[in-house]
Chain A
Amino acid sequence: MHIILNNTSMVPIYEQLIDQIKNEIISGSLKENEVLPSVRTLSSELRISALTVKKAYDRLEEEGFVVTVHGKGTYVAATDQKLAMEARRKAIEDDFAMIIDKARAIGFEKDEIMEIVKIILEDH
């Protein structure tokens, strides 16, 4: 598992952790039934508090990416490709929603927002 955390990012550490583990699962580098490091092991390796790791694992379990068996560990759940794509789509939608809120807050109208999106799309 490759995890790189950015301590100065505005994105909370546990969210960075969730995103990166999700990506590993969606891309297939973490396979079904593979066991994740224990909470304490991962917290020790990444030098973050155990509670942060636990929070990330709990969220991944809620979203159906992993399963925790008490006393045994946390495993990668059977990945439904459709579900995985859905999750990615949701993440993108959330990001867009955030940007739109931001733009609206400083008074941009729908047309202006669409204009910006178009310009950026053309550049990429």
Chain B
Amino acid sequence: MLNVEKIVKNYGDFRLDVSFEIPDGTVTGIVGKNGAGKSTTIKLILGLIRPDEGHVYINGKEASQLSGKDKQELGVALSESGFSSYLCIKDIIVILRKMYPDFDEKFFTDNCNIQKLPFDKKIKEFSTGMRAKLRVLVAISHKAKLLIMDEPTAGLDVEARNDILDLLRKYLADNEDCSILLTSHISSDLEGLCDDVYLLNDGKIILHEDTDTILSNYGVIKVDEEMYEKLDKTLILSSRKDHYGYQCFTNDRKFYAENYPGIVIENGSIDDLILMMTGGK
């Protein structure tokens, strides 16, 4: 579905250098701290900025060569909706109808009603949550095959986040072959939605793993100094000294649970992954 081949972008002393692939029908997340290069990656894929090197292929076609028709198959939600804030949903419907031959007006209006988005209020009067819902609804209302979302849930409360994730889940259930690329730094969003996750740090991908594997095999081991010395460290990805001892991040918690009975091991999460893999030692 999407192929990113050695794409490079230099901004002063920041260098982004990434390659990855999203197969048909998968949901991929890009995680990383602020400034890691997540949004730059998204902008490069969409051709909003030009790469210094490398290629992006969408369905086998170089991204810069996509025709208007090819672009119909993309659904995009960035941090700004792209519509003038003086428009209201009624106006946006007219625009979407012209822009996308496959625009599903019924789906769009039904969902606006479900999410309680007013049709004749200007977008500038919308709350953050309402704007975020509108952005996602616009992206999923024309039967796109590939959805690209930059922080679709940033700055939202738990309920609004859940509404948005449920919209995406429903879209996936109804369109089995569609793929999603999304960035987020809220790990619970990614854990319940993404099939795999790329960890981006300082412009580079430092880890790629199935979400399922992270949740079922990774873990954080907590030991005192004495125990730390004795610990077999071959399956420890990173360790960090704490006031009471050490925290060790492993990709095989079962090994430690079996070989060191009684040791404290917590299940790994994407938050731990970011903290332990990108933080200082």
Contact = CB atoms under 8 A, between A and B. Distances in A.
Contact of B212 (A38, A52, A105): A52
Interface in A19-58: 38-41, 43-44, 47-52, 55
A102 to B, nearest CB: 6
Interface string B235-265: 0000000000000000001000111011001
B261 A47 contact: no
Interface in B87-119: none
A7 B261 CA distance: 22
Nearest to A50: B195
Contact of B173 (A12, A40, A48, A105): A40
B172 A50 contact: yes
A32 B192 CA distance: 30
Contact of A49 (B194, B217, B253, B259): B194
Residue among A15, A44, A47, A48 with most chain B CB within 10 A: A44
A105 B258 contact: yes
Contacts of A102: 258, 261
B41 interface: no
B176 A49 contact: no
Contacts of A120: none
Interface string A90-105: 0000000000011001
A48 B210 CA distance: 12
Contacts of B223: none
Nearest to A8: B267
Contacts of B141: none
A49 B169 CA distance: 10
B207 to A, nearest CB: 17
A10 B267 contact: yes
Residue among B165, B172, B173 with most chain A CB within 10 A: B173
Contact of B170 (A8, A44, A48, A52): A44
B170 to A, nearest CB: 6
Nearest to A37: B173
A69 to B, nearest CB: 15
Contacts of B196: 51
A44 B169 contact: yes
Interface string B44-57: 00000000000000
Contacts of B253: 10
A40 B258 contact: no
B281 to A, nearest CB: 27
A14 B195 CA distance: 13
A116 interface: no
A101 to B, nearest CB: 6
A55 B194 CA distance: 14
Interface of B: 25-27, 165-166, 169-170, 172-173, 176, 191-196, 210-212, 215-217, 253, 257-259, 261-262, 265, 267
Interface of A: 8, 10, 12-15, 38-41, 43-44, 47-52, 55, 101-102, 105-106
What 6 pairs across the A-B complex have the smallest Cβ distances? Answer: A12-B216, A44-B169, A51-B195, A47-B192, A40-B173, A44-B173
